[in-house]
Amino acid sequence: MSGLRVCSKCKVQKPVEAFGKNKSRSDGLRHYCKVCACAAAADYRARNPDKSRLAAAAYRAEHPDKVQAANKAWREAHPERQRASSTAWRGANADKVRADHLAWSAANREKRRRWNKIWYENNRDRIIAKTVAWTRANPGKHNAATKLRKQILKQHTPVWADTQAIEVVYVKAAEWGFDVDHVVPLRGKTVCGLHVWANLQLLDRKLNRSKSNRVWPDMP
Ligand SMILES: [Zn+2]
């Protein structure tokens, strides 16, 4: 198949590659060029919205593989439009996105923890800046959280605790740039630790944040 032919719609002579295929015709080509065929199809869809919707649904049901492959090819050919359209979709379906994310998180707790840790390490400066900004913008909430933390410490401090020794640990930690950590977490799932000198240790900041309330060295 080679040469030129005239489109019966726009009457322009075009190379045969500019025409779609039609097996039922003797020359195997459609009589409209691709541009005209496309415009005619769009025009038909505009005039028959219900019919074309049904036809499209029927086609999708009959050729799921073809549709999937075509969609994939389109996404790969238009990455920026694909990104824009998925951003728009997430914006319009925020509740569903949130619910899906929560369900996934609940089903993949270890994975989520690992990813959170990597994410924290990669975005440390940004997270700290955001936290500082949030603290400034929400002094009331920040004070409440600080108060709660103090209250929890107080609840876990027995009368016999050496408060001076505890204080020294905190002063030294601040001096050396460490976090003070409770070896047995104060609010562990199975056991609660005490806010006493013997239950304190200095930890590298990153390590403490990744530890959360799960494990300690002699965990039963
Ligand atoms: Zn044409």
User: CB-based contacts of 44: which residues, under 8 Å, 6+ apart?
Assistant: 52
**149-174: per-residue pLDDT in tens?**
899 999 999 888 898 999 999 998 88
Distance 186 CA to ligand 1 centre (A): 77
Distance 40 CA to ligand 1 centre (A): 10
Q: What does the chain come to in residues?
A: 220
**60-69: per-residue pLDDT in tens?**
999 999 999 9
Q: How far apart are CA 151 and CA 159, in angstroms?
A: 15
Query: What crossing angle do the helices spanning 109-122 and 124-137 adopt, rounded to 10°?
Result: 90
CATH tag for 1-62 (out of 2.40.50, 3.40.50, 1.20.120, 3.30.60):
3.30.60
Distance 43 CA to ligand 1 centre (A): 14
Q: Would the pTM count as exceeding 0.95? A: no
Where along the chain do its domains lie? 1-62, 146-211
For range 52-74, the mean pLDDT: 93
